[in-house]
Amino acid sequence: MEKTILITGATDGIGLETARVLASGDHHILLHGRNPARLKATHEALSTLTPDTTIDIVEADLSRLDAVEEMAAYITRHYDRLDVLINNAGVYRSTPVRTVDGLDIRFAVNTIAPYLLTNRLLPLLGPTARVLNVSSAAQSPVHLEALSGAIELSDGHAYAQSKLALTMWSVQMGRTVAESGPMVLAINPGSMLGSKMVKEAFGVDGADIGIGADILCRGALSDEFAHATGQYYDNDRGTFASPHPDALDETKSKRLTQRIEEIVTRKPGALRR
């Protein structure tokens, strides 16, 4: 059955490879990217490879809360359903670090944008739909003031905290929507895969990004993930596993989710310091 699938960060790395594989299966693919030229080139390349597949594009800078809102509104206007949302876009290092909303860009893109986008698109995500949040093996306890942009962290600490924060709200949302859907799953696609982010951060080529694309495609389509809501899949182990203990602490997860909700309900720029 054809699925309508949105992939954020789909112009390179794991996102691009995942889009390529899913497009070959005749699904309706919605590609997200930040750079209009790169997004157009990706669309043209995939359309040439899979001429019988419907591929659309949506441009948005996920470091901006207003842009995420606009993206969600655009998708809601143009689509009546969404079967799979893959929140893949991520940032490890960037200049400047601070966004227009006063947030650390790692938390903005890796944690807050996927939370906001998922919540705004919930009306399109039916009971059998799936939300896949690309996490990481790098997970560190979250400093809520860093999440809010009040203190600065190093690249590594900000990235690891942002990925645990993503995992925490994924598990929490999974609990909340367990009966009604969609399925919400955090996935570590594999450590040190050969994405642009890994090359920039660590100066190594990394492993085959197809490893990450394969697990995201399975998460999107395979029956083995149909009832995995609120869980964490560790592709380094090749199985469902326990995330960082904080993600299993309901009190901490609720507190973090509340803080994110406070951030996204403020006006753009309200957090700027």
Give me the domains of the chain, ranges plus CATH numbers: 4-264 (3.40.50.720)
Q: Which residues, other chains included, contact 267 with Cβ-Cβ below 8 Å and sequence gap of 6+? A: none
Confidence band for 270, pLDDT divided at 50, 70 and 90: very low
What is the average pLDDT value for the chain, to the nearest integer? 93
AA identity, residue 174 = G
Helix, strand, coil percentages, rounded to 5, for the chain: 45, 15, 40
Per-residue pLDDT tens digits for 9-54: 999 999 999 999 999 998 999 999 999 999 999 999 999 999 989 9
pLDDT of residue 1: 74
Place of tokens 């299966």: 25
pTM for the model stands at 0.94
Confidence band for 205, pLDDT divided at 50, 70 and 90: low
Strands (E), the chain: 4-7, 28-33, 55-59, 84-87, 130-134, 183-188, 231-234, 239-240
DSSP state of 245: G
Read off the tokens for 223. 């029956």
Q: What angle do CA 181, 183, 185 make, to 5 degrees?
A: 150
AA identity, residue 207 = A
Confidence band for 266, pLDDT divided at 50, 70 and 90: confident
